[in-house]
Amino acid sequence: MSEEKDPLLMSHEADGIKELDNNLPRWWVWLFNLCIAFSIVYVLYYHVLNMGMSSAEAYDAAMKIANEQKAAAIAKFETDMATMEPSTDQAVLSAGQKTFVTYCSPCHGMEGQGLVGSNLTDDYWIHGSEFKDTLKTISEGVPAKGMLTWKDQMRPSEIYAVGSYIFTLRGTNPPNPKAPENEITTPAIDAGMFE
Ligand code: HEC
């Protein structure tokens, strides 16, 4: 008995598996067309007419704005330094202490007694004893002598915090102090003044 052949049945067959030549669903065809239309618009917009920014350009633009903001913040900080007073706020000081232990103690010692870097607890200062001198030295560094330029890596608020913290180390007389590297530049500080 011969079966009537399904007009949708395609001629090929593999291991008894046959295929019907159905129309594609309408929703699928429309999605496909839409994708093609979108890709044409996309190529025109981004690559032919160059109207949109590529990811790399968007990154550069964002970095440019961020660098300007950073430069402005540093410029403001450099002006403000002249009149800043060391913070006595515990939160600021403990943030400063964390920074000191992480970044400064390898060269200045855990107690600021000095190692490769100078003693920060005595009355002998190479770059000035006032708080503004401390901030400036931390911010600018002394690259020729191995003191890093921290404004490249730290926010002004972090420099202010660590500067305030090391200010509290003055006059603490830790053991094994590094020998003075300059004439006395500040009047002796009463060790008790920060207690
Ligand atoms: C890689 C080593 C190194 C690190 C890290 C370092 N310093 Fe220094 N620092 C030095 C040296 C060396 C000097 C002395 C520079 C000179 O002889 O002119 C110095 C000088 C200073 C001075 C000036 C001292 C003076 O007598 O005038 C201050 C303040 C200071 N450092 C603070 C810091 C702080 C705060 C940090 C951490 C954020 C830090 N330093 C991290 C090596 C370092």
Using an 8 Å Cβ cutoff, are 125 and 101 in contact?
no
**CA dihedral in degrees (156, 124, 185, 74; nearest 10)?**
-10
In this predicted structure, what is the pLDDT of residue 2? 54
Using an 8 Å Cβ cutoff, are 121 and 178 in contact?
no
Average pLDDT of span 117-140 = 94
Q: Which one is predicted more confidently, 190 or 122?
A: 122
In this predicted structure, what is the pLDDT of residue 195? 45
Nearest to 85 by CA among 134, 128, 125: 134
Pocket test for ligand 1, best of 92, 103, 108 (most atoms within 8 A of CB): 108
Whose C-alpha lies nearest to ligand 1, atom 39? 104
Ligand 1 centroid distance, CA of 16 (Å)? 83
- 141/149 Cα distance (integer angstroms): 4
130, pLDDT greater than 60: yes
Neighbours of 78 (CB within 10 A): 15
In this predicted structure, what is the pLDDT of residue 189? 57
**Using one digit for the tens of pLDDT, what is the confidence trace for 47-70?**
999 998 989 999 999 999 999 999
Average pLDDT of span 180-189 = 72
